[in-house]
Amino acid sequence: MTALRPYQEKLYNQARESLKNNRAVLLQLATGGGKTPVASAMMESVYGKNKRAWFITPRKNLVDQASEHLKKWGVPHGRIDALNQESRAFKIHVVSKETLQRRWDKIKEWPDLIIIDEAHLNLDFQIELYSRAPLTTKFILYTATPERLDGRGLSVQGGGIADIMIEGPSIPDLTRQGYLTPIRYFSPPLEGLNDLKYKGTEVDEEQFEELLQRKKIYGEVVGHYEKHGKGRPALGFCRSVKSAYQMAERFREKGHNFYCIEGKQSHKEIKQMIDALKDGTIEGLTTCDLVLYGVDIPRIEYGFSVRPTLSFALYMQMIGRLTRPFRDEKTGYEKQDALWFDHVNMLLEHGINQNGVILPPHYADHIPWNFHGTEKRKRDKTLKNIKLCPYLDFLYCDNPHCATCKHNPDKTVTDARKPMIIVPAELEEVKKPIAMAERSYDDRRIIEDKISEQVLKFKSSPDELPNVIDELVKIADDCGYSPFWIYHQLVTENKHAVQVHILAAIQRAKNFKPGWIYFAKEKIKARGA
């Protein structure tokens, strides 16, 4: 406990007290605020009481990171992942979520406490885990952004498992105490967003790429970096892996050492490039969503986004990559601030109204999280009040007294701020399918959870087949899957015997002609042969 900061110790004690009356508690703490030390202290306490605990990570690569933290705290522990099984020799285990899902029937001993990292992901997994665990097992959920892309709630009231949410200090409070780096928010406008359409929470990729080329936004991104961020380690978020590679290439064409990191690269390649950014060998990285969760690069001082999104959680996670403080012990250099360039005007979508002033969320004293999933976020109609500095290009400014500002060369000017250029985006869902491989990590996880939910519903209640088929048809249409994909999701045993009633349900949902069932039967038989 002596290693915890005062606010971390407060969260620790609040969670402990709350678990006396609740089975599942969610702890919210801003990115960079130090959730893992609190979790490590909890597991150290469990170990000291001769109890058992699991720390569950949403991605395989985060198992190593969690294990390293426990080693620092001197907590003996085992691992449950693709290469390791549960061992009774250890009271504490770091667990891969994917591995646990495959080994429900191999659990030897349920823990007394389960800690789930990045709890805004994998909601259906949490619900299943919660239902399988003994009633004596307690849960602590951790996240910096306690709301989901799909609008579902993390609370029991919203369909999740958390009985209560405990919020940590605000981002401004942590910044004032020196635990987070101040963010300077710039918003260069990308005109033409009003012509774009959205697929779910993400903008249409082909339309957006055409707009970027037409407006030469790649060149503008490089130009802003050259003017404001040259010499600062940089990280940029792009709409797709393809555009992330293109963005890095544009930077290199201008003489800047930028590279793309993405999921198909080896763990070794990714680590080498992140280490190169940390030690200054390269100037910047571009990505789609690889470093959104669990990757710490405190050295980053310049961030930019050309990725429009309706997801508030995703937006906050991107900016959160810049907020970690950094000090070079060898040279004594200390990071003073971080610059965030929002090239797609996401402040218009996600700004927070505080006392009549629209703030970037990282400036707000309180963020109204959609913990219960009861409301959809709506764009604030007062966003027209956003003002930008006239002396520093596109810098967000909430100070109306230019005469007292150090950036103002003419102290006689009272308020020279100019209004932000408003680019209204009419959000419409486009029916064109998007392949799973082209989607963000979060979108893929949401879809996979929905598929698993429907398959389980059918297996437990065959009478639910019509409703299950309707839901799977929506997913198939959205992802570009054929009707036979739906059939094979539900028929996992005795595949040689054609399940005509399932084909009939698909035929009804898709409004196919009756003759389709005969065609489908013959195709399935031929595939089986």
Span 110-161, pLDDT tens digits: 999 999 999 998 899 999 999 999 999 999 999 999 998 777 899 999 999 9
pLDDT at 113: 97
HSE-up of 470 (CA within 13 Å, CB side)? 4
Region 73-80: mean pLDDT is: 90
Handedness of CA 20, 24, 30, 36 (dihedral sign): positive
Q: Where are the alpha helices (DSSP H) in 203-332?
A: 205-215, 217-224, 241-253, 267-279, 312-320
Q: What is the CATH number that goes with domain 6-169?
A: 3.40.50.300
Give percent of the chain above pLDDT 70: 90
Region of poorest pLDDT, from 88-102, 230-244, 266-280:
266-280
User: What band does 410 get if pLDDT is binned at 50, 70 and 90?
Assistant: confident
Asked if the model's pLDDT at residue 478 lies above 50, the reply is: yes
Region 152-175: mean pLDDT is: 94
Strands annotated E in 466-508 = none
pLDDT at 339: 95
Asked if the model's pLDDT at residue 293 lies above 70, the reply is: no
User: What band does 241 get if pLDDT is binned at 50, 70 and 90?
Assistant: confident
Region 334-360: mean pLDDT is: 85
User: What band does 178 get if pLDDT is binned at 50, 70 and 90?
Assistant: very high
Region of poorest pLDDT, from 5-19, 92-106, 352-366, 448-462:
352-366
Region 283-306: mean pLDDT is: 83
Give percent of the chain above pLDDT 90: 40
Region of poorest pLDDT, from 89-103, 109-123, 215-229, 378-392:
378-392
Region 511-522: mean pLDDT is: 82
360-370 core/surface letters (b: 16 or more CB in 10 A; e: else): bbbbbeebebb
- For residue 94, which of 103, 86, 102 has the smallest C-alpha distance? 86
pLDDT at 428: 41
Angstrom distance (rounded) from CA 497 to CA 482: 20
pLDDT at 432: 53
pLDDT at 407: 79
pLDDT at 442: 73
Please tell me which residue, 302 or 354, carries the higher pLDDT value. Answer: 302
Angstrom distance (rounded) from CA 116 to CA 287: 26
Best-predicted range by mean pLDDT (323-327, 494-498, 517-521): 323-327
User: What band does 430 get if pLDDT is binned at 50, 70 and 90?
Assistant: very low
The C-alpha torsion from 493 through 455 and 60 to 294, rounded to 10°, is: 170
User: What band does 95 get if pLDDT is binned at 50, 70 and 90?
Assistant: very high
Contacts of 380 (CB under 8 A, 6+ apart): 351, 352, 353, 358
pLDDT at 433: 65
Asked if the model's pLDDT at residue 491 lies above 90, the reply is: no
Residue 453 CA: distances (Å) to CA of 210, 282, 490: 37, 44, 12
Task: Establish whether domains 6-169 and 173-377 are of one fold.
Answer: yes
Asked if the model's pLDDT at residue 524 lies above 50, the reply is: yes
pLDDT at 58: 84
pLDDT at 316: 92
Its CATH class, for the domain covering 173-377, is: alpha beta
HSE-up of 366 (CA within 13 Å, CB side)? 5
pLDDT at 376: 62
- For residue 373, which of 159, 141, 200, 166 has the smallest C-alpha distance? 159
User: What band does 513 get if pLDDT is binned at 50, 70 and 90?
Assistant: confident
Region 37-44: mean pLDDT is: 91
Region 392-398: mean pLDDT is: 85
Q: In the predicted model, what is the mean pLDDT of the chain?
A: 85
- Kindly report, residue by residue over 4-16, the tens digit of the pLDDT: 999 999 999 999 9
pLDDT at 379: 60
Region 336-356: mean pLDDT is: 86
Domain ranges of the chain: 6-169, 173-377, 436-528
Asked if the model's pLDDT at residue 426 lies above 50, the reply is: no
